Structure 1
Amino acid sequence: MSHSVTITRTTTSTTNTSYIVLNTGYIKTFPGILKLFQLLIGVAVVTLMAMHYSDSVYYRQQQYLFHYLMATTFMIGTFCLFLACLTSLSTGGLIAKTIYELIYHSVAAILLLVSSACLLIKLRDNRHDAYMAAGVLGLVNTVLYFISAFLAHRSYRGI
């Protein structure tokens, strides 16, 4: 029985210190750039929500808290993924071939879309610039997560 074998060779550049190996080549890849931007936008959204979150009853409504929680959750998850891919020579290439990235980015995109839409709908009557910016940045992050989910779907290998 014959079968075909595809061999993919990946070149990575590293910055080697005595304890930590950094896969700096991962940051130069499209998935690496996407994760970096997702992380930076997530930090911006969480910062905006944290700086303007108040103890008053008005700001403790579900839409604000839901967006705050979703942005925080996926910021932390993306940080862990990005750090794993950055500190390992093989993780960046291997994790993209698993179903985890597809599920993670799909769930992140859907939940951030819902939380951003709920927040922006809530703000249509009462405009607060910081929350409006957080909602719009949430939508931008949603697009980035959808792109990552599409790339993860293309590179997924059901083994």
Structure 2
Amino acid sequence: MPIATTARLLAVAALAAVPVLATATPASAAPAGESWDTIFTVARSGLCVGRIDPSIGHGGLPGGAALFNFQAALWGVGDCRATITANWTNTDNGRSGSISQEIAGPGYHHYGAEPRLYPGPGHVEVTFTMDAASAPAPAHGQWIMPDYGN
């Protein structure tokens, strides 16, 4: 069987495991004004599946910065790796940017994705994409960034 066909079959089998992964310990509820899709993925390396719960951290960071957080678990065999990219836009002031974070496993990890972002106050929307098969694809999130006077 060709390698590409085998890889596709493994991806389909891994995504079929989503109901099992969905029963894993959930991330804490998002604060008011925030919403985040949970992302189920296969890894681009190893024979691994995973769950990623994105969120945003702000307040107390210099210059009114924010930081994407990813609670991620990859289960499987081998060197499990996948990269998540967050493309964000402040719909009130037009600022936008992109941040990528490599997720590694197997195991559970909590990442604070650098560099920090400076969206300014307002409604911020984000689209998440993965470098491997994932659901939902793309995933989405949003939050209201407070005005920290910076």
Structure 1 length-normalised TM? 0.24
Bigger helix fraction: 1
Bigger strand fraction: 2
Structure number with the bigger relative contact order (C-alpha 8 A, sep ≥ 6) is 1
